[in-house]
């Protein structure tokens, strides 16, 4: 890796990705505060589309994380906005947890407890709590941006009393811990391992498990368990930042995280070196789809979890699996000619989706960079550089900003896919840039 690569990554983050979402994503109209559920490829904002907790939590995480990385408080403006939206529009004050989606006025649209969404909220809240503590601990009693009373939007006339940074930080972390406890109490399968897909609004069982129209209505999935693992890793990492005396609860989170890492390698990882997608309660695989983006994303998130736990036995157990997943994704899912990652393969290889999806390319950078760090093998660093070249030449929308959601195999934008909204935010590509800069210490 050379300095030009790192400078290019830095420029992409600070000159394209972050400014784009700061400019276009927020709906600041009184009574409708939130993030737009759809932004088209001409950057037209659709204010009528429902809004997801996943989108909102991803903005919360991104701008909290970049504030912590740069030590620059200006990025907390977006994070404060996202936090206020979660508290005022998504938080289920009766049953706990957060709604899956709300309408622009804040009324619940899909009120079930989709565990994927709960996990992302925990992920964002824990990062925000740490950011507020680290960046504002010198402010003493200075008040923070206000949050409204339950059920009300944020306006100068109805806000509650100002809070100090310490109170805001602890409040956010306590919300993250509330979600953790709800997941442990209602979504974790203590018999067979892992976490189920969804619960009803009151956390009782439901038959409506499906995550999105692209997914299967099944009890367990790789995707949900992967992002619970991601959330728990971040919760484990940030807890002592906010609560220095949190040894007991942190140990509980650590035990949950370790179990989930082991479930992933023991049940979700398949003999073909890919991660299975959809399962029954007993981890019987329900189809043969291979998702190259999820494979490479899982490889580095698994390693991150084990490293955060500082558990050498666990690292020894999963080391070869992590590298094998990265290697096979490079051998089978990587377009060597064009330098990008393809989408998925299913029905015994009869269907191969060669679209170049933005998040697949972002996670390819993370996964191959991690494999390069672990092995020193140049094939992984070369793959990183190839993918970055593809991103800069094709995936980036040089006129409209940020990245095209999907391209066809020839690099042409698929304009039916939105530029931004309920699934596409600053999270995947923003995190990729931050991971590279953090790991390289090249900020």
User: Residue 98's pLDDT band (boundaries 50, 70, 90)?
Assistant: very high
Question: Would you list the DSSP string of 351-382?
Answer: EEE--EEHHHHHHHHHHHHHHHHHH--HHHHH
SS3 271: coil
Which of 29, 61, 69 lies closest to 48, judged by CA?
29
When pLDDT is cut at 50, 70 and 90, the band that residue 152 belongs to is very low
Q: Band the pLDDT of 154: cuts 50, 70, 90.
A: very low
pLDDT, the chain, mean? 94
DSSP character for 144? Answer: -
> Of 209-213, 369-373, 438-442, where does mean pLDDT reach its minimum?
438-442
Query: 357 is written with which tokens?
Result: 């999806």
H or E element: which one contains 335?
A: strand 334-335
In our burial notation (b when 16+ CB lie closer than 10 A, e otherwise), range 185-218 reads: ebbbeeeebbbbbbbebebeebeebebeeebeeb
Residue 13, both tokens: 């983050």
**Exposed, middle or buried by CB within 10 Å (0-12, 13-18, 19+), for 23?**
exposed
Listed in sequence order, the residues at least 6 apart from 196 whose beta carbon sits closer than 8 Å to its beta carbon are 115, 187, 189, 209, 219, 220, 224, 281
Q: What is the pTM of this model?
A: 0.94
pLDDT tens for 284-333 read: 999 999 999 999 999 999 999 999 999 999 999 999 999 999 999 999 99
**What pLDDT does residue 164 have?**
84
| Per-residue CA distances from 351 to 285, 294, 295 (Å) | 18, 17, 18
C-alpha 145/C-alpha 164 separation (Å) is 10
The answer to whether 224 and 197 have CB atoms below 8 angstroms apart is: yes
Cα-atom radius of gyration of the chain, to the nearest Å?
21
pLDDT for 147 beyond 80 = no
Helix, strand, or coil (residue 243) = coil
pLDDT at 158 (0 to 100): 36
Write down the pLDDT at residue 148.
Answer: 43
- pLDDT of 392 > 60? The answer is yes
The reported pLDDT for the residue numbered 68 is 97
């Amino acid at each position: 890796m050379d300095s030009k690569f790192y400078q290019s990554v830095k420029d992409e983050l600070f000159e394209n990705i972050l400014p784009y979402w700061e400019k276009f994503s927020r709906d600041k109209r009184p009574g409708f505060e939130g993030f737009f559920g759809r932004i088209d490829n001409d950057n037209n904002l659709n204010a009528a589309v429902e809004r997801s907790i996943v989108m909102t939590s991803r903005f919360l995480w991104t701008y909290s994380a970049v504030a912590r990385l740069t030590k620059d408080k200006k990025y907390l403006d977006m994070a404060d906005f996202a936090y206020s939206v979660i508290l005022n529009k998504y938080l289920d004050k009766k049953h706990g947890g957060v709604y899956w989606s709300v309408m622009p006025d804040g009324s619940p649209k899909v009120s079930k407890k989709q565990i994927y969404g709960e996990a992302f909220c925990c992920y964002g809240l824990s990062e925000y709590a740490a950011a507020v503590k680290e960046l504002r601990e010198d402010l003493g009693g200075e008040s923070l941006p206000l949050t409204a009373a339950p059920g009300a939007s944020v306006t100068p006339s109805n806000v509650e009393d100002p809070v100090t940074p310490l109170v805001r930080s602890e409040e956010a972390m306590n919300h993250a811990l509330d979600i953790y406890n709800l997941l442990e109490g209602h979504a974790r399968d203590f018999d067979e391992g892992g976490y189920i897909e969804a619960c009803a609004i009151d956390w009782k069982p439901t038959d409506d498990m499906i995550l999105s129209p692209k997914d299967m209505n099944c009890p367990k999935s790789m995707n949900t368990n992967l992002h619970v693992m991601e959330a728990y890793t971040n919760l484990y990492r940030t807890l002592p930042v906010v609560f220095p005396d949190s040894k007991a609860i942190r140990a509980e989170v650590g035990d949950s995280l370790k179990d989930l890492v082991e479930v992933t390698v023991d049940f979700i990882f398949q003999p073909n070196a890919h991660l299975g997608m959809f399962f029954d309660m007993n981890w019987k695989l329900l189809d043969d789809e291979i998702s190259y983006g999820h494979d490479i994303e899982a490889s580095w998130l698994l390693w991150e979890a084990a490293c955060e736990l500082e558990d050498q036995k666990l690292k020894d157990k999963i080391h070869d699996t992590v590298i094998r997943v990265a290697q096979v994704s490079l051998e089978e899912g990587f377009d060597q000619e064009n330098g990008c990652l393809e989408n998925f393969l299913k029905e015994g290889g009869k269907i191969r989706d060669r679209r170049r999806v933005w998040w697949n390319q972002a996670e390819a950078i993370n996964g191959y960079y991690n494999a390069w760090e672990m092995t020193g093998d140049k094939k992984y660093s070369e793959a990183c550089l190839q993918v970055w070249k593809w991103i800069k030449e094709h995936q980036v929308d040089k006129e409209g900003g940020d990245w095209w959601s999907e391209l066809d195999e020839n690099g042409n934008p698929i304009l039916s896919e939105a530029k931004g909204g309920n699934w596409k935010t600053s999270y995947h590509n923003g995190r990729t840039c931050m991971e590279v800069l953090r790991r390289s210490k090249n900020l």
